[in-house]
């Protein structure tokens, strides 16, 4: 078993039905796909090329100039086209397999459960613990949060995140960011706040929360996290060193 996270190039077979929908049709139906880590931190699915439900859904074959081991097709269903959506591997260790870019189709299902963003890493877990530590957050010298009731979220391979109740955050300094949303298969869809400092300066991407988190992360509902890598954090009076994000 590989240590978290599996290295780039690692793959394993999965006994799990995975289907992909585009324009109302199941274009992929795979009983035994592969999980492939093209890069560290999260996997994607590769499918046997025979899992493409109908070859007529593939059009406009091209060969990438930077990868002669593959060919790329548009996905076409009912007159609707998703350009360069499907890659077939013609040689190398994944010859006979194909991949579909997750943002090039309408919906993905593992068995009958819909998935978002990317498949979960089987070597990753989330643990959320109630804490009585005092956590205080400052941005440019302005205190924006102070709590003695944080939820500490431990996620394999990532820095610990303190999720702070809305009631312990300076909501007068926050406004909803309607332009930014991210999706996590472990936590759900994150909504962001813009930080409005007394100087008039606005900071984006530093605070987020999950209105409707996934079942495994339900305990962080109604709590706000701050991007510790870019804000100042004190825990029980001790200023914390800024963590280094593996995604930087």
Q: Are 126 and 161 in contact (CB under 8 A)?
A: no
What's the average model confidence in pLDDT over 39-61? 92
Question: Which pTM value belongs to this model?
Answer: 0.82
**All residues at 6 or more sequence positions from 220 whose CB lies less than 8 Å from its CB, including other chains:** 128, 151, 153, 163, 187, 209, 210, 213
Q: Are 156 and 186 in contact (CB under 8 A)?
A: no
What is the spatial distance between Cα 221 and Cα 166, in angstroms, rounded to a whole number?
10
Please indicate whether the domains covering 11-115 and 126-239 agree at the CATH topology level: yes
Q: Could you confirm whether domain 11-115 is CATH 2.60.40.420?
A: no
Question: Which pLDDT does position 191 carry in this prediction?
Answer: 95
CATH for 126-239 is 2.170.150.40
Task: Tell me: pLDDT of 1 over 60.
Answer: no
Question: Which pLDDT does position 162 carry in this prediction?
Answer: 97
Residue ranges per domain, the chain?
11-115, 126-239
Q: How far is CA 195 from CA 113, 141, 221, 230, in A?
A: 36, 13, 20, 13
Task: Tell me: pLDDT of 246 over 90.
Answer: no
């Amino acid at each position: 078993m590989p240590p978290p996270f599996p290295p780039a190039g690692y793959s394993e077979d999965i006994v799990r039905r995975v289907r992909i929908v585009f324009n109302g049709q199941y274009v992929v139906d795979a009983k035994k796909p592969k999980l492939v880590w093209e890069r560290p931190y999260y996997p994607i699915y590769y499918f046997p090329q025979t899992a493409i439900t109908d070859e007529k859904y593939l059009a406009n074959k091209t060969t990438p100039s930077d990868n002669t081991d593959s060919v790329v097709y548009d996905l076409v269903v009912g007159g609707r086209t998703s350009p360069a959506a499907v890659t077939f591997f013609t040689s190398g260790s994944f010859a006979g397999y194909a991949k579909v870019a997750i943002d090039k189709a309408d919906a993905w299902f593992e068995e009958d459960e819909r998935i978002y963003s990317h498949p979960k890493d089987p070597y990753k877990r989330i643990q959320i613990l109630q804490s009585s530590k005092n956590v205080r957050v400052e941005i440019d010298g302005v205190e924006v949060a102070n709590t003695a009731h944080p939820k500490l979220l431990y996620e394999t391979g990532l820095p610990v995140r303190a999720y702070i109740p809305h009631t312990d955050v300076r909501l007068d300094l926050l406004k909803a960011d309607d332009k930014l949303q991210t999706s996590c298969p472990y936590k759900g869809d994150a909504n962001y706040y813009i930080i409005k400092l007394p100087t008039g300066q606005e900071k984006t991407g530093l605070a987020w929360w999950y209105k409707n988190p996934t079942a495994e992360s339900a305990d962080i509902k109604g709590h706000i996290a701050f991007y510790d890598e870019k804000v100042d954090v004190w825990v029980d009076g001790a200023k914390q060193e800024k963590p280094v994000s593996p995604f930087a």
